[in-house]
């Protein structure tokens, strides 16, 4: 298990924060905020509630350090909390439990298409097949996108397979099966992205797209991939593709400032600095009673 980030001894930092050192808690949040943003941002694909989910993840982690028995497993524990918060968000969305003001935020976006995929492409300067892989992630369903958010970071060297499996609450063998299935969907989506970008376009594909609203989805991926498999023109877009894992090796994290508009980090770190296990246990923490969304609410 890697216990240092940017030369900082994370284990010592976790122990200090757990013992009530506010500065250590703030430093810990600063070190791992980019990782959590990349997990949540990619899983929710830039949904307006990404800031809320990230903030809740970090607050739960910093205030709950007393429950972490092994300080060397902080990263794995943190990623598992992030996945739980993502699942919670899905459940709230499906049950209609998300409040009206948070729903209204969805309509306040300047550009609904400026999603996490665009941030990834722009901030990491992705081109060619790397860009194609990023664009293909839009065509995955929720479960596959959540898995991809972890696998992407594993492939980039930011997480281990054991940490991915722990976050999914699966064995490593079952995780491997899930990853293979997800990669198959991703490869099909890459072919779809290539077919849609073709110039000149496939005439038969244009006929199929007559009923498409222009929003990538798992349903339309299946329809378009089926056409691509049977079409002599579109099937060619699957040849010469470099395996996705070979394109993601060593890829950097999307900067937090790009994902959050630079607004959430100072607010989060200021709050985290006052969230010690002791204050959380007595109910005197600085955790807000309602979660402000960075850049949209005070």
Task: For residue 61, tell me if it sits in a domain.
Answer: yes
Residue that wins the pLDDT comparison between 258 and 117: 117
Reported as type and span, the H/E element at residue 132 is helix 128-136
- Cα separation of 52 and 292, whole Å? 7
How many structural domains comprise the chain?
Answer: 1
What is the residue range of 39's domain? Answer: 4-282
Mean pLDDT of 187-206: 95
Would you place residue 49 in the very low, low, confident or very high pLDDT band (cuts 50, 70, 90)? Answer: confident
Task: For residue 270, tell me if it sits in a domain.
Answer: yes
Q: Is 47 left (phi over 0), alpha (psi -120 to 50) or beta?
A: beta
How far is the CA of 122 from the CAs of 38, 167, 262, in angstroms?
14, 28, 16
- For residue range 66-84, list pLDDT tens digits in order: 999 999 999 999 999 999 9
Count the residues in the chain. Answer: 298
Task: For residue 181, tell me if it sits in a domain.
Answer: yes
Res 227 pLDDT > 90:
yes
Check residue 67 and give its pLDDT.
93
Q: How far apart are the first and last CA of the chain?
A: 39
146 in Cβ contact with 41 (< 8 Å): no
Residue whose structure tokens are 């699957």 = 238
- What tokens appear for 177 in the block? 């099966």
Q: Give 13: exposed, middle or buried? Use CB within 10 Å, 0-12, 13-18, 19+.
A: buried
Task: For residue 295, tell me if it sits in a domain.
Answer: no
How far is the CA of 188 from the CAs of 9, 45, 172, in angstroms?
42, 19, 24
Query: DSSP secondary-structure letter at 8?
Result: E
Res 115 pLDDT > 90:
no
Task: For residue 201, tell me if it sits in a domain.
Answer: yes
- For residue range 2-20, list pLDDT tens digits in order: 577 777 889 999 999 999 8
26 in Cβ contact with 273 (< 8 Å): yes
Check residue 1 and give its pLDDT.
45
Instruction: Record the pTM.
Output: 0.82
Mean pLDDT of 153-157: 95
- Cα separation of 294 and 185, whole Å? 33
Residue that wins the pLDDT comparison between 114 and 164: 164
Mean pLDDT of 190-200: 95
* 202: helix, strand or coil: coil
Across the chain, what does the average pLDDT equal?
A: 83
C-alpha angle 78-81-87 in degrees, rounded to nearest 5: 145
Task: For residue 252, tell me if it sits in a domain.
Answer: yes
Check residue 239 and give its pLDDT.
92
Task: For residue 290, tell me if it sits in a domain.
Answer: no
Would you place residue 51 in the very low, low, confident or very high pLDDT band (cuts 50, 70, 90)? Answer: confident
Task: For residue 25, tell me if it sits in a domain.
Answer: yes
Res 105 pLDDT > 60:
no
* 110: helix, strand or coil: coil
Check residue 174 and give its pLDDT.
98
């Amino acid at each position: 298990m890697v216990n240092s980030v940017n030369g900082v001894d994370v284990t010592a930092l976790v122990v200090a924060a757990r013992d009530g050192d506010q500065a250590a808690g703030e430093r810990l949040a600063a070190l791992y905020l980019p990782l959590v943003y990349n997990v949540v941002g990619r899983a929710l694909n830039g949904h307006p509630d990404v800031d809320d989910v990230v903030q809740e993840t970090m607050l739960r982690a910093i205030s709950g350090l007393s429950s972490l028995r092994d300080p060397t497993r902080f990263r794995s524990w943190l990623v598992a909390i992030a996945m739980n918060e993502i699942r919670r968000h899905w459940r709230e969305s499906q049950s209609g439990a998300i409040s009206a003001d948070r729903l209204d935020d969805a309509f306040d976006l300047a550009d609904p298409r400026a999603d996490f995929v665009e941030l990834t492409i722009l901030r990491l300067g992705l081109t060619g097949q790397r860009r194609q892989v990023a664009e293909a992630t839009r065509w995955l369903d929720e479960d596959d996108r959540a898995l991809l958010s972890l696998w992407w970071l594993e492939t980039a060297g930011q997480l281990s397979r054991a940490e991915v499996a722990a976050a999914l609450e699966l064995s490593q063998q079952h995780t491997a099966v899930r990853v293979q299935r997800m990669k198959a969907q991703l490869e099909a989506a890459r072919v779809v992205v290539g077919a849609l970008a073709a110039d000149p376009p496939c005439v038969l594909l244009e006929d199929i797209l007559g009923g498409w609203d222009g929003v990538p989805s798992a349903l339309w991926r299946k329809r378009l991939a089926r056409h691509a498999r049977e079409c002599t023109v579109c099937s060619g877009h699957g040849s010469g593709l470099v395996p996705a894992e070979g394109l993601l090796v060593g890829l950097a994290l999307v900067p937090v400032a790009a994902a959050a508009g630079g607004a959430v980090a100072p607010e989060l770190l200021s709050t985290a600095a006052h969230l010690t296990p002791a204050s959380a246990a007595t109910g005197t923490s600085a955790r807000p009673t309602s979660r402000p969304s960075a850049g949209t609410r005070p």
